[in-house]
Amino acid sequence: MKIHLKIWRQKDQKAKGKLESYSLNEVDAKMSFLEMLDMLNLQLAKKGERPVEFDHDCREGICGQCGVMINGIAHGPLKKTTTCQLHMRSFKNGDTIYVEPFKSKAFPIIRDLKVDRSSFDEIIAAGGYISVNTGQAPEANSIPITHEEAESAFNSAACIGCGACVATCKNASAALFTSAKITQFANLPQGKKESKQRTVNMVNRMEELDFGHCTNTEACQVECPQDISVLNIARMNYEYNKAKLTK
């Protein structure tokens, strides 16, 4: 099928970017979206032009490195699907597709569709862990965790850190990302000891970085490829207030 593309091209963080038009004539419906971009890049390279830089690695929806806005929607039209898992069968012959980076002040553009999401690492560094050194752990079954607690913690822990939530949020808030980690540990007995400190440190770090505030539009969950629930945000707010009120 024939596909027309409007792709954001930007040389570096400071340069002014713009949408460039491209057309591909022989797109196969079984191709993944990124394989379609590979096809474009091969054609550009052959013409001596600079290929489009985009983030990707595992191409099976788990590393969280890929992610672009496709027709204005983070990771494109399919629900619970990363960009790499989106296939061209979701589009039809003659479609024009707009491809833009995850734009946010906290995710500066490196080039074209590639953005810097190290601010997420900073939030984790502020407290997204249980402070246990190698060797300190007690016997695993000495900490029984009910099936429900484990499943619930897993649901939060499944976040892949792609940044779709920030890119989708009109305020560019990182509340869903931050709250998922806080909630995972708040749900586990091992994580309770540091819960107050963790919550306050992570929330403070999130606010120091260039993220906006959460105003509960819940758009983040709609576009989250892992379907991380906004209830995590409610839990984070509860944990934060609890930490502040019960010093």
Which 28-67 positions form the footprint of other proteins (CB under 8 A)? Answer: 28, 30-32, 34-35, 38-39, 42, 44-46, 48-51, 53, 55-65
Pick from 78, 77, 53, 56: which is nearest to 67 by CA?
Answer: 56
Using CB atoms within 10 Å of the CB of residue 217, give its burial: 0 to 12 exposed, 13 to 18 middle, 19+ buried.
middle
Least distance in angstroms from the C-beta of 159 to other proteins: 9
CA separation, residue 3 to residues 49, 55, 138, 186, 205 (Å): 20, 21, 57, 47, 42
Give the closest residue to 166 by CA, choosing from 104, 119, 210.
104
Report the nearest approach of other proteins to the CB of residue 121 (Å): 5
Closest contact distance (angstroms) between CB of 130 and other proteins is: 5
Could you tell me the smallest distance in angstroms from the CB atom of residue 212 to other proteins?
21
Sole binder of other proteins in the list 81, 171, 217, 237 (CB under 8 A): 81
Residues 110-149 that bind other proteins (CB under 8 A): 110-111, 114, 116-118, 120-121, 124-126, 128-141, 143-147, 149
Site map 177..216 versus other proteins, x via CB under 8 A: -------xx--x-xx-------------------------
State the number of binding residues for other proteins (CB under 8 A): 79
Shortest CA distance to 179 belongs to which of 144, 148, 131, 211?
Answer: 211
Q: Rounded CA gap, 161 and 215, in Å?
A: 21
